[in-house]
Chain A
Amino acid sequence: MIPRPKPERFRLRRTMIFMSAQKPGLIKDAYIYGVDSIMLDLEDAVAENQKDAARFSLYHALKTIDYGDTEVIVRINGLDTPHWQEDIRVCVAGGADGIRIAKCESAQDVKTVEAAVEAAEKEFGVEVGRTLLMAALESPKGILNAYEICSASDRMFGVAISGGDFRKCMQTKPTPDGIDMVVARGQMLIAARAAGVQCFDTVFTNLDDMAGYEAEVRQNKAMGFDGKSLINPKQIRLVHEIFAPTEKEILQAEKIVRAYREQSAAGVGVFTVDGKMIDIAFIPGAERTLKLARACGLWEGDLV
Chain B
Amino acid sequence: MVIQKPAVAGTVESSDALVSVEPGDGKIELTLTSSVMNQYGRQIRDTVLETLERLDVKSVKINIVDKGALDCTLKARVECAVFRSSDASEKDIPWGGVIR
Please report A residues at the B interface, Cβ cutoff 8 Å.
23-25, 28, 51-53, 55-57, 59-61, 63-65, 82, 85-86, 89-90, 93-94, 124
Contact = CB atoms under 8 A, between A and B. Distances in A.
B76 A28 contact: no
B75 A89 contact: no
Contact of B100 (A28, A52, A63, A82): A63
B25 interface: no
A269 to B, nearest CB: 54
Interface residues of A, dominant DSSP: helix
B64 to A, nearest CB: 14
A124 B95 CA distance: 8
Contacts of B80: 52-53, 56-57
A70 to B, nearest CB: 17
Shortest 8 CB-CB distances between A and B: which pairs? A93-B95, A25-B15, A60-B72, A56-B76, A52-B89, A64-B72, A24-B73, A57-B76
Contact of A52 (B70, B75, B84): B84
A280 to B, nearest CB: 48
Contacts, number: 69
Contacts of B92: 86
Given A25-B14, A28-B15, A56 B91 contact: no
A56 B77 contact: yes
Contact of A89 (B9, B10, B72, B95): B95
A24 B69 contact: yes
A167 B57 CA distance: 49
B100 to A, nearest CB: 7
